[in-house]
Amino acid sequence: MANLPILLADIRACTQCAAHLPLGPRPVVQLAPQARILIAGQAPGRKVHETGIPFNDASGDRLRAWLGLSREVFYDAKQVAIVPMGFCYPGTGPSGDLPPRPECAAAWRAPLLAHLQQLELTLVIGSYAQAWHLPGYASVTDAVRAWRNTWPHTLALPHPSPRNNLWLKRNPWFEEALLPELRLRVQQVLRQSPSSGS
Ligand code: SF4
């Protein structure tokens, strides 16, 4: 297995798909081998690109509320790993942000995830992460609706973007039934984490 500090340094220096990135490479990834929760997302948006902090936007605010996590815990790499399918902002098209660059997961995802041996919960956000972590579902809605199939270790979530407000309105079971269970599970997982001090 590749040495983690070297691997992270290689990722920070990566320019593999630079020609396709309108703002240039700026990989945004958070992880430490002790992490208990993995957030497998899509790719940074423009605001995240500007700050270099994952989910430092309205989507992140909603995701933290869904999980019942403070910013302090959410940004503790020893508790929460944040590894999107594409590490750099891919640009924006007519209907929102472009897909994560495919070169990224092909080059980095497997070697990076190999270092996460303490995971208890993987949260899969959006269709690109779902295709990698939870293949076989026809849609994000199908995967989220079937959440009990992979509970309590892996769970598909809709993207927490404000763009998904309509989805949330059409699927009230998500907030009423799934989220309370998820918050309990997150608390349980992090209570077991050595870095939580308990
Ligand atoms: S998106 Fe991934 S592959 Fe492309 S430059 Fe950034 S780190 Fe490299």
pLDDT tens digits along 107-162 = 999 999 999 999 999 999 999 999 999 999 999 999 999 999 999 999 999 999 99
Contact between 29 and 112 under an 8 Å Cβ cutoff? The reply is yes
Separation of CA 62 from chain center: 13
CA of 168 to the centre of ligand 1 (A): 31
Ligand 1 atom with the shortest distance to the CA of 14 = 8
Asked whether residue 195 carries a pLDDT value surpassing 60, the answer given is no
Q: Say if residue 194's pLDDT is above 70.
A: no
Which of 8, 20, 104 to mutate to test ligand 1, by most ligand atoms within 8 A of the CB atom?
A: 104
Q: Which residues contact 73 (CB under 8 A, 6 or more apart)?
A: 79, 80, 190
Q: How many CB atoms lie within 10 A of CB 150?
A: 15
Mean pLDDT of all residues in the chain? 94
Q: How many Å lie between the centroid of ligand 1 and the Cα of residue 80?
A: 21
The reply to whether ligand 1 has any atom less than 6 angstroms from the CB of 22 is no
Residue listed under structure tokens 């309509």: 166
For ligand 1, atom 3: residue with the closest CA: 104
* 80 three-class SS: strand
What pTM value is reported for the model? Answer: 0.94
For ligand 1, atom 2: residue with the closest CA: 104
| Tens of pLDDT, residues 66-88 | 999 999 999 999 999 999 999 99
10-49 b/e (C-beta count within 10 Å ≥ 16 → b): ebeebebbeeebeeebbbbbbbbebbbbbbbbbbbbeebb
